[in-house]
């Protein structure tokens, strides 16, 4: 029964992280019924003020314990509405990450038709004046196998930083949260006076395919009237909530519309601060703030009624609160610090059953296609962590020398940084050198792989010449993942490509892919170039494709230029070419 906490310092991004390990607790405080929640919270606070370290969570369904007007579903049978473990002191953070394996086979994904219907109902309610915003969510469900500590390590690689915690309740229930969102940080003196900071997160944009596009995405997020409106609605709600426990005129918003960079998304946050009044206790803070407005909508009471009507069941720890209470002796005897995240980007394990919620705030200007893409973008973190994968480069080895080795290693280094994999130049070069010495003659296809620990390995396969022209076929449907990180980076996770592979015996060399906008992107294992209107062009990275090394060489040498190629342009194409570093430039025919 080991729990891990790895929280940012909310008030100083450059400060040392709060990273601790907790073993078997000396006491566990549990509430299974609403009438028990407040007493559990009070006992947890009393323990922290007496010098203990207390970690735990509140489920979203605990909300009526603080305000009976808040409507929720009945909790799942056996679920603890509030769970806190009391420890005398924490232990040091482990020196090495977990080395086990973990996978989750997800099923029961949210259906687009149901999502569109719910969005339409929400907008009808907005039009009728019932509320301004509703945070609508749905669960992903899956089967978990392996080591939960390894899964937490993978989640942290997928979503580094933020407010991460792995809490083991010891009864088969484990909560693994890599939430980037701070609910509140309260530095409270023994009399309850102190400073409280809330940092609601509202407003999302996907990361860009190139540095320039990525920077533009952040600028557009901060400037978007829809995203700013979504954010300011929740800021106003939090200001009002905090005023219930704040000294007069102390509520302020020192930072508004800040774009935070996460691996798969840009998120907009704002800071809301206040000074708490004398006599304030943790139950008062929760009665004022819980659940966080960013996961309900505004006004909170009406938004939660809409959530109850639209969502099929309880949210559980997702959208509740997860955090740590600890003594703050610098503020005097009996002082306490309380830091809670909003448990988004969070997986609950109940034995072999896994659950993860995905959602977004719906406002009047929301469009179903854009909101659905936001859900897909937010889901990327859990997909990345759900099964092991390696970063992959495919190089040509001929006469003991690698073709374009520097370019391949530069691309692998970028991917390693993106996925949080260690990359040691000496180890990778040593691995390739040993393979080249073992294969001094002839052409070889070399697969260079880098695992999550940063360990490289390489393998060689005989490379036969490719007869030209190669035959290419156009995909019958769009590649849904065209703008995902699994396309922008080359890894062993290639099921999305395998689904488009030509049938054996068809005589087709590869399949030409296109995105949902009807723009041609690449093939399943190479890039595309076409002669159109008298010039050779290759699709730009913004269309959703791998930045191939062969493609980069052709661009650098002036053989091709970037240019948009749409499906309707295909009849006008004068010549086709398949391009990658391994096989070079191959003449191609469309069949």
pLDDT tens per residue across span 157-197: 888 889 999 999 988 899 999 999 999 999 999 999 999 99
User: DSSP secondary-structure letter at 241?
Assistant: H
Give CA torsion, residues 191, 192, 194, 195, to 10 deg. 180
Query: How many other CB atoms sit within 10 Å of the CB of residue 173?
Result: 18
Are 49 and 64 within one domain? yes
Are 377 and 399 within one domain? no
The string of pLDDT tens digits covering residues 62-92 is 999 999 999 999 998 878 999 999 999 999 8
Ordered alpha helix ranges (H), 128-195:
148-158
Are 169 and 250 within one domain? yes
User: DSSP secondary-structure letter at 436?
Assistant: H
Are 75 and 206 within one domain? yes
430 CB contacts (<8 Å, ≥6 apart)? none
Strands (E), 181-233: 182-188, 194-198, 201-206
pLDDT at position 77 is: 83
Q: CATH number, domain at 410?
A: 3.30.470.10
Six token digits for residue 571: 């009849």
Task: Dump the DSSP string for 355-396.
Answer: EEEEEEEE-TT--HHHHHHHHHHHHHHHHHHSS---EEEEEE
Q: CATH number, domain at 249?
A: 3.60.120.10
* Active-site hit among 45, 181, 371, 485: 181
Number of residues written out for the chain = 591
User: Among candidates 98, 155, 97, which has minimal Cα distance to 387?
Assistant: 155
**How many folded domains does the chain comprise?**
3
With 0-12 CB in 10 A as exposed, 13-18 as middle and 19+ as buried, what is 105?
Answer: exposed
Q: How far apart, in whole angstroms, are the C-alpha atoms of residue 268 and residue 203?
A: 5
CB 340 within 8 A of CB 183: yes
CB 363 within 8 A of CB 228: no
Are 354 and 497 within one domain? no
Are 413 and 500 within one domain? no
Q: How far apart, in whole angstroms, are the C-alpha atoms of residue 206 and residue 266?
A: 6
Q: How far apart, in whole angstroms, are the C-alpha atoms of residue 310 and residue 109?
A: 16
Are 433 and 529 within one domain? no
User: Among candidates 480, 416, 400, which has minimal Cα distance to 454?
Assistant: 416
Q: Which of 353, 385, 417 is at the close of a domain?
A: 385
Are 511 and 380 within one domain? no
Instruction: Report percent pLDDT > 90 for the chain.
Output: 76
Q: Which of 334, 359, 385 is at the close of a domain?
A: 385
pLDDT at position 415 is: 94
- Buried b / exposed e along 118-138 (16+ C-beta atoms within 10 A): bbebbbebbeeeebbbbbbbb
Are 319 and 396 within one domain? no
Are 506 and 397 within one domain? no
User: Among candidates 263, 241, 152, 181, which has minimal Cα distance to 8?
Assistant: 181
Q: How far apart, in whole angstroms, are the C-alpha atoms of residue 451 and residue 351?
A: 27
CB 377 within 8 A of CB 206: yes
| Residue 553 lies in domain | 470-590
Handedness of CA 350, 351, 354, 356 (dihedral sign): positive
CB 181 within 8 A of CB 26: no
With 0-12 CB in 10 A as exposed, 13-18 as middle and 19+ as buried, what is 300?
Answer: buried
557 CB contacts (<8 Å, ≥6 apart)? none
333 three-state secondary structure: coil
pLDDT at position 101 is: 85
Judging by DSSP bridges, how do beta strands 353-362 and 401-402 pair with one another?
unpaired
Q: Has 181 been annotated as catalytic?
A: yes
User: DSSP secondary-structure letter at 280?
Assistant: -
451 upstream amide cis, omega within 30 of 0: no
pLDDT at position 15 is: 84
HEC secondary structure over 62-89? HHHHCCCCCCCCCCCCCCCCEEEEEECC
Q: CATH number, domain at 574?
A: 3.20.10.10
CA distances from 341 to 66, 80, 100, 129, 170 (A): 18, 18, 27, 31, 21
pLDDT per residue rounded down to tens, the chain (591 residues): 789 999 999 988 778 899 999 999 999 999 999 999 999 999 999 999 999 999 999 999 999 999 999 999 999 887 899 999 999 999 988 877 677 889 999 987 778 888 999 999 999 999 999 999 999 999 999 999 999 999 999 999 888 889 999 999 988 899 999 999 999 999 999 999 999 999 988 888 877 767 788 888 888 888 888 888 888 888 999 999 999 999 999 999 999 988 888 777 788 899 999 999 999 999 999 999 999 999 999 999 999 999 999 999 999 999 999 999 999 988 888 999 999 999 999 999 999 999 999 998 898 888 888 888 888 878 888 888 888 899 999 999 999 999 999 999 999 999 998 888 999 999 999 999 999 999 998 899 999 999 988 999 999 999 999 999 999 999 999 998 898 889 999 999 999 999 999 999 899 999 999 999 999 999 999 999 999 999 999 999 999 999 999 999 999 999 999 999 999 999 999 999 999 999 999 999 999
Q: How far apart, in whole angstroms, are the C-alpha atoms of residue 416 and residue 423?
A: 6
Q: How far apart, in whole angstroms, are the C-alpha atoms of residue 360 and residue 48?
A: 34
230 three-state secondary structure: helix
Q: Which of 365, 385, 405 is at the close of a domain?
A: 385
pLDDT at position 193 is: 95
Are 162 and 96 within one domain? yes
Are 399 and 537 within one domain? no
No. of helices (H) and no. of strands (E), the chain: 13, 31
pLDDT at position 411 is: 97
pLDDT at position 302 is: 97
237 three-state secondary structure: helix
* Active-site hit among 202, 300, 378, 490: 202
Handedness of CA 489, 420, 166, 265 (dihedral sign): negative
Handedness of CA 228, 233, 237, 243 (dihedral sign): positive
């Amino acid at each position: 029964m080991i729990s891990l906490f790895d929280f940012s310092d909310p008030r100083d991004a450059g400060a040392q992280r709060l990273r601790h390990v907790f073993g078997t607790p000396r006491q566990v405080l549990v509430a299974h019924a609403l009438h028990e929640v407040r007493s559990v919270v009070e006992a947890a606070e009393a323990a922290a003020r007496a010098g203990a370290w207390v970690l735990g969570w509140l489920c979203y369904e605990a909300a009526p314990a603080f305000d009976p007007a808040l409507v929720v579903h009945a909790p799942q049978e056996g679920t603890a509405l509030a769970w806190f473990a009391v420890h005398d002191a924490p232990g040091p953070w482990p020196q090495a990450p977990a080395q086990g394996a973990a996978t989750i086979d997800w099923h029961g994904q949210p259906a687009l038709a149901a999502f569109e219907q719910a969005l339409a109902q929400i907008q009808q309610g907005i039009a009728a004046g019932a509320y301004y915003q509703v945070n609508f969510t749905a669960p992903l469900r899956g089967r978990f196998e392996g080591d939960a500590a390894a899964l937490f390590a993978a989640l942290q690689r997928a979503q580094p930083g933020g407010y991460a915690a792995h809490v083991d309740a010891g009864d088969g229930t484990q909560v693994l949260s890599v939430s980037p969102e701070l609910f509140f940080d309260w530095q409270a003196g023994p009399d309850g006076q102190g400073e409280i900071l809330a940092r609601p997160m509202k407003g999302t944009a996907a990361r860009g395919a190139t540095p320039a596009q990525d920077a533009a995405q952040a600028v557009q997020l901060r400037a978007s009237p829809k995203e700013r409106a979504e954010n300011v609605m929740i800021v106003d709600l939090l200001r009002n909530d905090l005023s219930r426990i704040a000294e007069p005129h102390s509520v302020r918003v020192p930072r508004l519309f800040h774009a935070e960079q996460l691996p798969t998304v840009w998120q907009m946050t704002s800071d809301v601060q206040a000074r708490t009044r004398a006599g304030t206790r943790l139950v008062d803070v929760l009665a004022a703030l819980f659940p966080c407005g960013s996961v309900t909508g505004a006004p909170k009471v009406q938004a939660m009624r809409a959530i109850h009507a639209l969502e099929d069941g309880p949210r559980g720890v997702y959208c509740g609160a997860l955090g740590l209470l600890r003594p703050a002796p610098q503020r005097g005897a009996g002082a306490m610090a309380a830091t809670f995240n909003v448990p988004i980007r969070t997986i609950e394990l109940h034995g072999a059953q896994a659950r993860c919620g995905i959602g977004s705030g719906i406002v009047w200007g929301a469009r179903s296609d854009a909101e659905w893409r936001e859900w897909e973008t937010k889901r990327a973190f859990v997909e990345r962590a759900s099964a092991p994968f390696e970063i992959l480069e495919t190089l040509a080895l001929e006469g003991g020398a690698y073709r374009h080795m520097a370019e391949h290693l530069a691309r692998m280094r970028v991917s390693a940084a993106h996925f949080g994999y260690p990359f040691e130049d000496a180890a990778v070069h040593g691995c390739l050198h040993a393979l080249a010495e073992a294969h001094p003659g002839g052409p070889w296809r070399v697969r260079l792989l880098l695992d999550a620990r940063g360990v490289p390995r390489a393998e060689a396969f005989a490379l036969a010449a490719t007869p030209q022209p190669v035959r290419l076929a156009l995909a019958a449907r769009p590649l849904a993942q065209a703008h995902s990180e699994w396309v922008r980076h080359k890894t062993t996770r290639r099921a999305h490509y395998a689904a488009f592979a030509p049938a054996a015996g068809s005589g087709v060399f590869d399949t030409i892919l296109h995105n949902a906008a009807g723009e041609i992107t690449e093939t399943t294992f190479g890039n595309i170039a076409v002669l159109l209107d008298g010039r050779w062009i290759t699709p730009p990275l913004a269309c959703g494709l791998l930045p191939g090394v062969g493609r980069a060489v052709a661009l650098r040498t002036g053989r091709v230029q970037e240019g948009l190629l749409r499906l309707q342009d295909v009849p006008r194409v004068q010549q086709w070419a398949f391009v990658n570093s391994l096989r070079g430039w191959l003449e191609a025919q469309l069949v």
